[in-house]
């Protein structure tokens, strides 16, 4: 949602600013570029919850040593199709990229790979990793848990949080086209969306939140003050069950740890189980792409309900947002923009430089 006070920043300028901030915070040019491009793409995709508004939180996490700099990715287990990597609490946008590059190579040679990436600092928009695999022509499935911060989501029927927002992503490549990309939190809304609503001073829609007493509320502040409230799972028992399975697949299977009984809260610590499949090696090489197109057309031809202009498939809203925002700039609410500017200034980037990079006049 936008309002009149949002600033609109074109992606190139925003990327330059965020890259400079990461460099000033101590990352090298390559890592700063990966992180900046990842976060700006999240904004462009319409997922502001996972965009540049996170930079001040990342800088704070680095300052207290919870987010580490430098090369942190290590191999815990390498057994052919099975890989366990440890991100060493490095920048998720870098660790995620490097881990995916390793498994993409492996999946191309073996046909399929199952990888557990442990202990990465926040992996951001999980769809980014599905897109990386799809760009290499691979199908990918991602199940994620989050430890290192308090539980945020109540299991179905419960009044207190027991899960994180446990995202799931499935990406299916389309030769020469953008992939089909399903990518969502198993909570009804991502936690970051309550941050954006809270910073905008807006309520969230009914049916998404419980207050600390377990009563329904629309006030996003309950997720940003103590005692914490809880998000509700999407799809009632189904989303709740999927979140449980994310905990098992991402947290238990590779030994990374689930959210159960944790109190060692220091930073967003993501674990991700990732399954990559080469679609050309499953026996349907001649038909999989054509079948995908047939299905897509079949679904697109569904008569639309009065409330929508047309039926879409997963990944389309993000592509539409990218087209709009690349042209008009990405809207950033004034509080998030102010926090970003303050963080940049604290890192030694002057207001004059910020204005020059982004084309947005910066007061103060
Ligand atoms: P969301 O509710 O906006 O759902 C997005 C998914 O639904 C996309 O696949 C999108 O293409 C599809 N979609 C949306 N509208 C559609 C329509 N009209 N027709 C067809 N498909 C449609 O997403 P969310 O749950 O708010 O999650 C936002 C982001 O937060 C995701 O990128 C997720 O990976 C990320 N996330 C990350 C973490 C983490 O720990 N790193 C935790 C939670 C969420």
Confidence grade of residue 284 (pLDDT, cut at 50, 70, 90): confident
Residue 364 or 29, more confident: 29
% of the chain beyond a pLDDT of 90? 92
Q: Provide the token pair at 162.
A: 């027991």
Task: Tell me the mean pLDDT in the region 238-246.
Answer: 98
pLDDT tens sequence across 199-221:
889 999 999 999 999 999 999 99
CA neighbor of 276 nearest in space, from 152, 103, 121, 154: 103
pLDDT of residue 4: 53
Ligand 1 pocket mutation pick from 58, 172, 185, 249 by most atoms within 8 angstroms of CB? 185
Residue 347 CA to residue 24 CA, distance in Å, equals 6
How many angstroms separate the CA atoms of 244 and 155, rounded? 8
Dihedral angle at the C-alpha atoms of 328, 329, 332, 337, nearest 10 degrees?
Answer: -140
Ligand 1 atom at shortest distance from the alpha carbon of 181: 9
**Structure tokens given for 220:** 């996003």
For 292-349, what is each residue's pLDDT tens digit? 999 999 999 999 999 999 999 999 999 999 999 999 999 999 999 999 999 999 999 9
Pocket probe for ligand 1: among 128, 131, 190, the residue whose CB has the most ligand atoms within 8 Å is 190
What's the chain's length in residues? 364
Q: What distance in Å separates the CA atoms of residue 167 and residue 65, rounded to the nearest whole number?
A: 26
Could you read off the pLDDT of 116-125 as tens digits, one per residue?
999 999 999 9
Q: What does pTM read for this prediction?
A: 0.96
CA 270 to ligand 1 center in whole angstroms: 17
Q: Whose CA is nearest to atom 18 of ligand 1?
A: 312
pLDDT at 192 (0 to 100): 85
pLDDT at 199: 87
Whether 261 has a pLDDT exceeding 80, the answer reads: yes
Residue whose token pair is 């991402």:
250
pLDDT of residue 286: 87
CA triple 238-314-151, angle to 5 deg: 40
The residue to which tokens 């700006």 are assigned:
40
Contact 310, 304 (CB under 8 A): yes
Mean pLDDT score, 269-280 = 97
Q: What residue owns the CA closest to ligand 1's atom 4?
A: 184
Residue 163's pLDDT band (cuts 50, 70, 90):
very high
- Ligand 1 atom closest to Cα of 146? 40
Burial 133-161 (b: 16+ CB within 10 A, else e): bbebbbbbbbbbbbbbbebbbbbbebeeb
Whether 1 has a pLDDT exceeding 60, the answer reads no
Nearest to 22 by CA among 88, 96, 92: 92
pLDDT above 70 as % of the chain: 99
Nearest CA to ligand 1 atom 26: 190
- Nearest partner of 91 among 37, 138, 145, judged by Cα: 37
For residues 218-247, one letter each, b for 16 or more C-beta atoms within 10 angstroms of the residue's C-beta and e for the rest, the string is ebbebbeeeebbbbbbbeeeebbebbbbbb
Among 167, 178, 196, 232, name the best residue to mutate to test ligand 1's pocket (greatest count of ligand atoms within 8 A of Cβ).
167
- For residue 227, is the peptide bond before it cis, meaning its omega torsion is within 30 degrees of 0? yes
Tell me: the pLDDT tens digits for 345-362? Answer: 999 999 999 999 999 988
Distance from residue 347's CA to the centre of ligand 1 (Å): 32
Binned at pLDDT 50, 70 and 90, residue 253 comes out as very high
Q: Among 146, 148, 53, 38, which Cα is nearest to 93's? A: 38
Q: Calculate the alpha carbon distances from 337 to 14, 17, 318, 349 in Å.
A: 11, 12, 22, 14
From the centroid of its chain, how far is CA 268? 12
pLDDT at 364 over 80: no
- C-alpha 123 – ligand 1 centre gap (Å): 14
Q: Picking from 15-19, 24-28, 195-199, 357-361, which range would have the lowest pLDDT averaged per residue?
A: 195-199
> Do β-strands 82-86 and 112-121 pair in parallel, antiparallel, or remain unpaired?
parallel
Is it the case that residue 186 has pLDDT exceeding 60?
yes
CA distances from 298 to 181, 187, 328 (A): 17, 29, 32
Tokens of 58: 């990342």
Q: Ligand 1 centroid vs 66 CA: distance in angstroms?
A: 27
Q: What is the mean pLDDT of residues 264-289?
A: 93
The pocket around ligand 1, CB under 6 angstroms, is made up of 47, 49-50, 122-127, 144, 146, 165, 167, 169, 181-185, 189-190, 193, 270, 312-315, 317-318
CA–centroid distance, 122 to ligand 1, in Å, is: 16
Alpha carbons 58 and 40: distance in angstroms, whole number: 15
Query: Which atom of ligand 1 has the smallest separation from the CA of 193?
Result: 26
Q: How far is the CA of 125 from the centre of ligand 1 (A)?
A: 8
Instruction: List pLDDT tens digits, range 68-94.
Output: 999 899 999 999 999 999 999 999 999
In testing the pocket of ligand 1, which one of 184, 251, 269 has its CB within 8 Å of the most ligand atoms?
184
Residue 99 CA to ligand 1 center (angstroms) comes to 22
Which strand ranges, in their side-by-side order, compose the sheet holding 82-86? Answer: 74-79, 82-86, 112-121, 269-277, 139-147, 168-174, 177-184
76 Cα–ligand 1 center, Å: 30
The atom number, within ligand 1, closest to the CA of 122 reads: 41
From CA 1, how far away is CA 220, in angstroms rounded?
Answer: 15
CA dist 312 and 98 (Å) reads 32
Q: Answer yes or no: is pLDDT of 2 > 80.
A: no
Which residue's CA is the closest to the ligand 1 atom numbered 38? 167
CB 50 within 8 A of CB 128: no
pLDDT of residue 127: 98
Distance CA 228, CA 150 (A): 9
């Amino acid at each position: 949602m936008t309002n009149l006070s949002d600033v609109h920043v074109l992606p190139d300028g925003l990327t330059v600013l965020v890259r400079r901030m990461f460099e000033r915070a101590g990352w090298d040019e390559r890592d700063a570029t990966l992180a900046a491009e990842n976060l700006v793409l999240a904004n462009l995709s319409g997922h502001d919850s996972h965009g540049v508004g996170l930079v001040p939180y990342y800088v704070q996490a680095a300052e207290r040593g919870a987010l580490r700099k430098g090369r942190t990715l290590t191999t815990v287990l390498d057994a052919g199709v099975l890989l366990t990597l440890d991100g060493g609490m490095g920048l998720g946008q870098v660790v995620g990229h490097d881990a995916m590059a390793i498994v993409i190579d492996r999946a191309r040679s073996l046909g399929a790979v199952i990888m557990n990436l442990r202990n990465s600092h926040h992996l951001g928009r999980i769809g980014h990793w599905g897109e990386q695999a799809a760009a290499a022509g691979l199908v990918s499935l991602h199940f994620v848990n989050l430890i290192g911060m308090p539980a945020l989501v109540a299991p179905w029927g419960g009044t207190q949080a027991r899960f994180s927002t446990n995202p799931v992503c499935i990406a299916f490549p389309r030769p020469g086209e953008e992939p089909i990309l399903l990518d969502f939190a198993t909570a009804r809304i991502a936690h970051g969306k309550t941050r954006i609503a809270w910073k905008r001073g807006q309520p969230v829609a009914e049916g998404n939140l419980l207050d600390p007493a377990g009563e329904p509320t629309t006030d996003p502040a309950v997720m940003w003050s103590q005692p914490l409230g809880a998000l509700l799972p999407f799809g009632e028992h189904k989303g709740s069950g999927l979140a449980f399975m994310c905990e098992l697949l991402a947290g238990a299977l590779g030994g990374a740890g689930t959210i159960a009984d944790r109190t060692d809260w220091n930073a967003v610590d993501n674990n991700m189980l990732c399954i990559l499949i080469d679609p050309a090696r499953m026996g349907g090489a001649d038909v999989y792409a054509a079948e995908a197109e047939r299905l897509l057309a079949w679904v697109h031809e569904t008569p639309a309900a009065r409330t929508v202009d047309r039926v879409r498939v997963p990944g389309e809203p993000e592509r539409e947002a990218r087209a709009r925002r690349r042209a008009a700039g990405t809207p950033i609410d004034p509080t998030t923009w102010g926090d970003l500017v303050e963080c940049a200034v604290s890192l030694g980037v002057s207001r004059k430089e910020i204005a020059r990079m982004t084309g947005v006049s910066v007061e103060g």
